[in-house]
Amino acid sequence: MMSGVAEVRTGRTVVGSVCVALDGRTPGPGGDLDADWAVPHVLSDAARELREQLSGSATTVLVGGEDYEGLREAWQPLAEDSADGSAAAAADLRDRAFARWLDEVEKIVVSPSLTEPGWRNAWVLGVSPTQVTNQLRRQRGGDVLVLGGALVRGLLAVDALDRLAVLWCPEVLGSGERLFDDGLPRSRWSLVSSAVSDTGAVATVYDRER
């Protein structure tokens, strides 16, 4: 549990990035790996530009175990050398660039059960996300990019995010975990940027006002 761990503030910026449906849900009814609804919006120009912006200043990726499995499955093949007929060969160059960045960047997986991350530059830690962010804030480096609804939701609950990048998707899922659930601490955010995609999704970035 993340409660009881004081949040440390230093120079590194902790950025949460997540896709959210119109009804506020991050995964679909099938749980954390139910994300097919988001794929067209994630591959839109506005989302690609947002990923380029976020990856340009981040030197560490923080992700939960189940979200990590989906992340690896989606992006690891695109980082490989392309060959005719391969996923990498057919991919948009911007997606391949992000996949290569993900392949090279430091990846910290918060999971009590995962033992082998199966991706280079990836480490598994069995401690709370707040403990990890506290440790990372004490270290030198660029932004810490937090990926996945479960981890972003947990860090919002302890007011541990400095920036929030949300891709609002024009979908109604009907069930699944909500990003902004009851019980979150009150906080104020300022809009930094927004862009509308050709799919109708809106890519937004907010900074926490303290």
The domain locations on the chain are 14-209
Averaged pLDDT for residues 107-122:
91
CATH of domain 14-209: 3.40.430.10
Would you say 15 and 164 are in contact if contact means Cβ atoms under 8 Å apart? yes
pLDDT value, residue 41: 96
Tell me the DSSP string of 85-136.
TSHHHHS-HHHHHHHHHHHHSEEEEE-SS-----STTEEEE-S-HHHHHHHH
Residues 6+ apart with CB under 8 A from 47: 41, 167, 197, 201, 203
Query: What CA–CA distance (Å, rounded) separates 22 from 24?
Result: 5
CB-count exposure of residue 190 (10 Å: 0-12, 13-18, 19+): exposed
Return the SS3 of 164.
strand
Amino acid sitting at position 29: P
pLDDT value, residue 97: 94
pLDDT value, residue 3: 41
Residues paired with 207 in a beta bridge? 163, 190
pLDDT value, residue 9: 55
* The pLDDT of residue 12 is above 70: yes
Average pLDDT, the chain: 89
pLDDT value, residue 1: 34
Would you say 95 and 78 are in contact if contact means Cβ atoms under 8 Å apart? yes
Please state, in angstroms and as integers, the Cα–Cα distance from residue 106 to each residue in 69, 103, 143, 144, following that order. 16, 8, 11, 10
Would you say 209 and 188 are in contact if contact means Cβ atoms under 8 Å apart? yes
What digits encode the pLDDT tens for the residues 76-99? 989 886 655 566 667 889 999 999
pLDDT value, residue 8: 52
